[in-house]
Structure formats: C-alpha cells, structure tokens
Chains A and B, each alone.
Chain A
Amino acid sequence: MLGFVLAEALRDCRRAGRVGVSAVLLIALSLAALGGFWLFSLNLGRAIDQWRDRVRVVVYLKEEPSATKLGDLLRQIESVGGVQRVRYVSKGEALHSLKHALGAQADVTDQLPRNPLPASVEVTPDADTATPEGNRALVRRLAELPEIDEVQGGAQWVEGLAQFRHLFQLVGLGVGAVLGLAAILTVTTATTLVLHLRRDEMEIMRLVGATESVIRLPRVLQGMAQGLLAATIALGVLEAVYAVAAPRLEPLLPLTLGLQRAIFLSPPQILVLMVSGGILGALGGLLARSGRKPHAR
C-alpha cells in the first residue's frame, strides 16, 4: 500500500507541471525571506546580548573612601539588590584611564593642580535587572545611599535596539506569514489542478472501496515533497548569499554590531526551516479539493 501511495504521489508531482514549479518557487521564496529575516535577527540578537553584558551603572562617590571604609561601601552597594558584581575605581585609576584614553595628549593632565576625577564604583546589573525598568529602579536605589554623589548609566539604548529587533522579527514573521499563505494557496491550486486531471482515478478509487486516507495521502505527500524541495532551494539560496556576503561584511561587523563574524543558521534551525517547508506543502495538498463528475439519472 505504501508503495502504491508513493508511486501515485510521484505521478502527481510529474503531472503538476508548471503550476507545481510555481508552487515550489513560491514556497522557496517565502522560506528564503523568512530565513533571511531569521538570519539577520539571529546576528542582531547576538550583538544585543553582547551589548547587554557590557551595560554598566557608574556610581560616583562624594569622597574617596579610606581602605577600611571601602569594603563596607562595596557591601552596601551589593546589598541594594539586582547587582551582579562591583568594581571600585579609585581617583588615581580614573586619571590613569583618562591618560590612556588621551594617548599623545596625556600630558595635558599634568597641568591640573590636582586630580579632579571622582572615585567611582562600576556596577554590573544582574540579568533580571538589565531591563529599562530594572535599571531605573537600581539607579534610584543606588542614588539613595549617602556616600553617593551621582549615578550614571543605563540600558535604555540597548533596550531600544532590542525593541527594534523584536519589531524586525514581527515584520519578518508577518512577511513570512503572507508569503507562506500565498505558498499554501499556490500548492492548493497546483494540487487541485492535478486532482482535476485525476478525477477519473479518484472516482474509480472511491467506487471500488478505497478509504479517504488512501485517496488523499498521495496529494499530501505530493505537497510535502514540493515543500521539502522548496525548503532545500531556499536554504541553498540563503547559504549562497551568506557565503558571498559574510566575508565582505566581516570588516564592518566589529564596527557596527560589535561582532567578529556573522553566523549562519544552526542545524536545528535548518531543520525547522525544512519542516516548515514540508508542512506548508502538505497543508496545500490537504486543502486541495476536486470537483465530482455529474451523474445521469
């Protein structure tokens, strides 16, 4: 029986002709668009995660604490909640960093009568606090400490980017959904045309007592085969674009997204894309309907 069903599905694929080719191309297009959005979003997500890890809140102190008071102050800061780790930056270390940043012009700082830079504590928020709300609350809590002069920093810009990524994903899904729907309709049309050609066969099948599953399964398999073929094409296109574009974009990535290299879809993600193609095609095959021949009375 399986042999019969597969042979019929293969026969249907051949009969689908140009409409079948259109269906495959449309599914490939929708999956390539979806995969493209996914690929970009994946790399943007990596960049955002990296930036999120680098979010720091800088707590400027009114006075440089003595060695004995420093330990208490750091414990006090850690105990406000939402703090992953703290690092004390003394006035001397701050000046040293400034000189390092100024490079050749570092001797400008020698003209200063005294070190004007305040001592500070770099606070790294924990994962739960690295949100705009959590960050604002942390800044408020830190500002209430008596030894604190000013608190700076936040994750707002990173979150803005995260929201852009979210929006980008939604647009990608929307475009994918529209193209996916179009693909289903095309497969449905292709399969319906094949069913029209096969109307006589289906009449005979029903007449001799074939179950609906035996009658329908070849159509579903035909759609699934088209979908899998389309997914393979889409992945091939994505892989080719990635192979061509990634080396050219590599010098720009550290400067723009802060990434060393762009990554491609992982094997599980490739599998998801393949399965999506199969499901899109199978749905088209499942939704196809054939007209019945009128009978004489």
Chain B
Amino acid sequence: MIRLLHVSKVFGEGPARVPALSDVSFTVEKGEFVVLSGGSGAGKTTLLRLLYRDELPSEGEIEVADFEVTELRRSEVPQLRRSIGVVFQDARLLDGRTVFANVAFVLRVLGTPRREVRPRTLASLKAVGLSARAQAYPHQLSQGEAQRVALARALVKSPALLLADEPTGNLDDDMGTEILELLKEIGSRGTTVFLATHQARVATQLKRRTLTLAGGHLLKDEG
C-alpha cells in the first residue's frame, strides 16, 4: 500500500536549507495498521504530506495505493487523493454546515450520485457513533465528537488508506482512547491505517507495528 525508497526532503536553499527527512525507506502492506512515532519536528507531518502529494520529495521514490506519487502529473493528484482519507489533529470541520453536511460535502465534491449521498453519509456517521448528532453544527460538538466527524468524513469515500496526523493530540485520555478504538475498528475492516503521533502512550496502547522518526531519520521499525 505504501512504499518509500531512500526518500529525503529538504525545505529551503543555501543557508536557509532545512532537512526534514533523510533517506527514509519502508513498506506498509495492504490492511496493515502502522504507527509513525516521533517527537515534535521529527518529520512525521512532512512524511504524511509526501504520501498525499501535498509536497514532493527532494530525493527518492514513493508509491501509494498503486500510484507512483513522484511521477504523478498535477492533474492526476486528485485520483491519488480519492483513495486516501486524511484526519488531522484539529478536526477542520466547516463552520456553518451541519455534521451531516460536513460529511456529505466530500461525496458531493466528488460527484457521487445524489441518491447515494444520504445513505453513505448516514452509514459513515453510524460507523463513528454519531448518527444522533447529524444535525448538530461544529460549534455544538465536543472535541472528541468533532474528531469523530473528521473520521467519518475521511471514511465516507471508502478510502484504501487512512492517514491520521496526531488525531488524539487535542483530546483528553478518554476521548483519545475512543478515537484509537475507532481507528482499530476501521483497520480491522481492511482499511490500511497510518497514524502519526508524538504521544508514546498511543504506540504502547495500540500494540501495532511502530516506525520511529527522529530528526528526519527512521530510527526504528518494530512490532
């Protein structure tokens, strides 16, 4: 599902040159649940952005969901992103739209037939346990609920790969655990999950394969 080969990423040039990733190589199989662990500035977010082609690597090759990411033309990037769901530390919900509208927005943007939008949106909300909050607005949600809506939004298009960038970073332990349980459940249904976190307890709690980044280098690949 994911293959990185000698990937490096440098921001800026000359004296302002900042290496973010150095010679990172690993493979994630289809259906695997992998934790990307590392402190602040380790390069986790950069790595995720390379995976959904928000950035291009300075060196190396990246393959995601059968797409040669480094070879993709700009016009082909949307095709890659349709097979990836992304959640961030902040839920990034759209104000002024209900929970239902936030999730349905994805399907409408992608031109899903109208008759499919409602059942798929409701199914996605049910999967994250938020059917009862469908008509609520983002400001009426707790942080945990908002993050679950973000998960529903990422999952509604049935992606092969789910990228989660610090999804529990803003949550207390109980809410964080709820989200992790949801992610495990999503993984158990066959979706490949790649979760980046700076919280050591998350990796411990999940007991999954863990890649550890430090200063842009891949230090460990265990589990």
Chain A residues in the interface with B (C-beta under 8 A): 1, 3-4, 200-201, 203-212, 214, 295-297
- Residue B184 lies at the interface, judged by CB distance under 8 Å to chain A: no
A209 touches B92 (CB 8 A): no
A146 to B108, alpha carbons, bound, how many Å? Answer: 88
Question: Looking at the complex, which of B109-117, B118-126, B201-209 is the stretch in contact with chain A?
Answer: B109-117
A209 touches B94 (CB 8 A): no
Not counting A4-B109, A201-B94, A207-B52, a sample of 17 additional A-B residue pairs whose C-beta atoms are within 8 angstroms of each other reads A1-B111, A200-B95, A203-B92, A204-B94, A205-B109, A209-B78, A209-B81, A209-B83, A210-B78, A210-B109, A211-B75, A214-B109, A295-B45, A295-B54, A297-B11, A297-B41, A297-B46
Chain B residues in the interface with A (C-beta under 8 A): 11, 20, 41, 43, 45-46, 49, 52, 54, 75, 78-84, 86, 92, 94-95, 105-106, 108-111, 114, 153, 157
What's the minimum C-beta distance from A156 to chain B, rounded to whole angstroms?
A: 61
Residues of A within 8 A of B79 (CB): 209
What's the minimum C-beta distance from A232 to chain B, rounded to whole angstroms?
A: 29
A295 touches B82 (CB 8 A): no
Residues of B within 8 A of A3 (CB): 114
Residues of B within 8 A of A201 (CB): 94, 105
Residues of A within 8 A of B84 (CB): 209
| Closest A residue, CB atoms, query B102 | A204
What's the minimum C-beta distance from B130 to chain A, rounded to whole angstroms?
A: 18
A209 touches B110 (CB 8 A): yes
B45 touches A209 (CB 8 A): no
Residues of A within 8 A of B81 (CB): 206-209
A34 to B212, alpha carbons, bound, how many Å? Answer: 66
What's the minimum C-beta distance from A16 to chain B, rounded to whole angstroms?
A: 15
- With A210-B109, A210-B110 given, is the CB distance from A204 to B92 under 8 Å? yes
B41 touches A209 (CB 8 A): no
Picked from B43, B82, B108, B114, the residue with its CB within 8 Å of the CB of A209 is B82
A203 to B46, alpha carbons, bound, how many Å? Answer: 17
| Closest B residue, CB atoms, query A11 | B96
Residues of A within 8 A of B94 (CB): 200-201, 204
A208 to B156, alpha carbons, bound, how many Å? Answer: 10
Picked from B45, B54, B153, the residue with its CB within 8 Å of the CB of A296 is B45
17 of the cross-chain contacts (CB-CB < 8 Å) are A4-B108, A200-B95, A204-B94, A204-B153, A205-B109, A206-B81, A207-B52, A208-B153, A209-B81, A209-B110, A209-B157, A211-B75, A214-B111, A295-B45, A295-B49, A295-B54, A297-B41
| Closest B residue, CB atoms, query A207 | B86
A204 to B80, alpha carbons, bound, how many Å? Answer: 15
Tell me which of A200, A210, A214 has the highest count of chain B C-beta atoms within 10 A of its own C-beta: A210
A54 to B187, alpha carbons, bound, how many Å? Answer: 90
What's the minimum C-beta distance from B110 to chain A, rounded to whole angstroms?
A: 6
B110 touches A200 (CB 8 A): no
Q: Which 7 A-B pairs have the closest CB atoms?
A: A209-B82, A209-B81, A1-B111, A209-B78, A210-B109, A4-B108, A208-B106
A138 to B83, alpha carbons, bound, how many Å? Answer: 79
| Closest A residue, CB atoms, query B81 | A209
Residues of A within 8 A of B41 (CB): 297
B45 touches A297 (CB 8 A): yes
